[in-house]
Structure 1
């Protein structure tokens, strides 16, 4: 198997600033037509790094990063759902890859690192982001008809759910 230019690792203290920079860059790359420009311009690397450090401490192991050398170029996060009335036991809360890495397989490695095949999983995605919805469909996610307003913008989000892989039936001999 060929070696990749990246490695996937659990989020560590030394990654939080690079993760913040990656997170902000990913939002600006992916959402420039979905999120008002003033919202994207207002992101602050120091505040975002502090936020990632809090997440790292409170939820160890919930976030993985894709590193090229020591630079974060993508990340994914999953854990118990944050919804008041969760519909699944697991939620994909973050999945971002820098645009220059689209199509490289890096996102696939991140998804493999955070998805649990034996656990129903939900996620929220922008309603007007068919590219992201198509990506999640490749991993078995389907729209469930639920919508909400996104926390930072007036944009609508839709929920997608991935049901756990069915238990294989064994044949009796």
Structure 2
């Protein structure tokens, strides 16, 4: 994964800018630093107890998921989807479907946090059985509210 950290960081930053413009303040989106984000992905790859799946088109990463043990205390599901991003040019191609199907297992519950004011993402997750459980929090980085959604076994 460290060899792919820069490509993953490039995808991650682009996805945030494509999906969250108008939801997250512009100065936050514009301040992303590729080198710092790549270093963060290197640390995540070394320390993460779950899995990171990437989707490539040629040499470019165009989507990814990150999932693993739940981080919430107490845990509300057996697994947490902590990141799911697809480049805007891949919307509607089935790539997001393939990524989420690779994460979900029928016999394991899964939770995730999603921006409350992101109807596109919320509708996508609802198609796979995720429902809001009433929990919310301020997102640490973007100053927006997130809600937790859970998919039961």
Question: Fold conserved (TM > 0.5)?
Answer: yes
The corresponding residue for 1:63 is 52
Q: Say whether the 8 Å CA contact 1:78–1:115 is kept in structure 2.
A: no
Aligned structure 1 segments of 4 or more residues deviating by more than 6 angstroms: none
Equivalent residues, number? 153
Across the aligned residues of Structure 1 and Structure 2, the Cα RMSD in angstroms comes to 1.1
> What 5-or-longer segments of structure 2 have no aligned partner?
none
How far 1:60 moved relative to its partner? 6.1
Render the CA deviation track for 1:53-93: whole Å, top value 9, x for unaligned. Answer: 11111126511000112210000011011223221121000
Q: Are 2:46 and 1:83 equivalent residues in the alignment?
A: no
Higher Cα Rg, which structure: 1
1:23-172 alignment runs, 5 A limit: 23-59=12-48, 62-164=51-153
Secondary structure of the corresponding residue to residue 103 of structure 1: coil
> What 5-or-longer segments of structure 1 have no aligned partner?
1-11, 165-173
Larger proportion of helix: 2
Secondary structure of the corresponding residue to residue 110 of structure 1: helix
